[in-house]
Structure 1
Amino acid sequence: MSKRELDIVIAKAKADPTAVRTLRCRTVALGRLHQLNYIRNLPPQPVMEDEPEGLLGESTAPNASEALLAALGSCLSIGIHANALAQGIPIRSLELRVEADINMTSVWGSGDLHPKTIGFETIRVCVDIDADASRKALAALIKHTVLWSPVANTLHNPVHLDVALAPATVA
């Protein structure tokens, strides 16, 4: 993306600051622990197809928790690139290592149900960036990116989650 293209995207967003876009994904279970995810008009994504070996899976694709880490890494990466471009900081290379700690003993509510953190306990992101800027400027760039990242904020801030049974269909 060029600086001009970035400016156009930003201008469109500023045209209606109250606009809210709804993103959608349809997940279809294929049996056992295999799913396909349908997003926009893209081909089905087997992103969350499988669990690791030893956890009812075959380790052929990322599991749901790993896909969440990939979403965070991707969102931060695009945010770092966009903000570096806006600030005139050329990036030669960028790699994010994202890892999280999770207690698997109570996963899905089917194991040890004694009180403990359900889901990630800690998420760590290490940003390895080669760019024409000082360490202080790069640290500020990363801090700014995290502050404005939709995925980072979804993980960091309480989000209303509404999960309900679909209405009955008439046969």
Structure 2
Amino acid sequence: METWIRPPLRTLRCRTVARGRLQQLNYIRNLPPQQVEEAELETHLSESVAPNASEALLAALGSCLSIGLHANALAQSIPIRSLEIKVEGDLNMTPVWGSDDVQPKIIGFASIRIAVTVDADASRKALAALLEHTVLWLPVASTLHNPVHLDVSLAPPAAALA
């Protein structure tokens, strides 16, 4: 019987293609493209047809937490009947666009709050311990609260690749 060993590091990829103005299509594996768009400065977020990048990050965090909670609950034989996760974050947009007040301040989320509503066959104490354990092992949450190496470079012109 062959034993499969999980590689210690896995590379995930996303190709983002600008569609003009403030719209992007993100290609991941062979899935349908995911649209992300920034609302124009004079447009309200509610008028956008797709999430902006910061909202997509909150969705990734909530999805990661949901998957982690389900997996850890299963491992502990805790059946979950329902799970809802509300994620909200405070984001100062003025320095991002280079408008208004450009004095140095936090760029990105200053604070993110998560409220978890779970209906499961377990005590509140057990559910709190499950949540605490799960959050410690979330890759998206860890990326947000631990420094991560970010390597950005300019790719060669398309003509040089031909």
Q: TM-score, normalised by structure 1?
A: 0.84
SS in 1 for 2:81: strand
Amino acid at match of 2:146: N
Q: Distance in 2 between matches of 1:52 and 1:152?
A: 28
- The answer for the alignment partner of 1:95 in structure 2 is 84
Structure 1 residue 110, shift from structure 2 partner = 4.8
Unmatched runs of 5 consecutive residues or more in structure 2: none
Structure 1 unmatched runs, 5+: 1-10
Q: Which residue of 2 aligns with 1:49?
A: 37
Could you report, residue by residue, the CA deviation over 1:58-94 in whole angstroms, capped at 9, with x for unpaired residues?
Answer: 4111100000000000000000000000100010100
Q: How do 1:51-66 and structure 2 match up within 5 A? A: 51=39, 54-55=42-43, 58-66=47-55
Partner of 1:129: 118
Partners of 1:56 and 1:168 in 2: how far apart? 36
The answer to whether the Cα contact below 8 Å between 2:22 and 2:40 also exists between their aligned partners in 1 is: no
Which residue number corresponds to residue 146 of structure 1?
135
- Structure 1 counterpart of 2:60: 71
Q: Distance in 2 between matches of 1:60 and 1:35?
A: 12
SS of 1:170 mapped into structure 2: helix
Q: Following the alignment from structure 1 to structure 2, what is the Cα–Cα distance between the partners of residues 55 and 104?
A: 14
Amino acid of the structure 2 residue aligned with 1:92: R
Q: Secondary structure at the match of 2:129?
A: helix
Counting matched residue pairs gives: 157
Give the aligned CA root-mean-square deviation in angstroms.
2.0
User: Greater shift after overlay, 136-145 or 109-118?
Assistant: 109-118
After superposition, the C-alpha distances for 1:18-54 in whole angstroms (9 at most, x for unaligned) are 53110000000000101100000111111x1242773
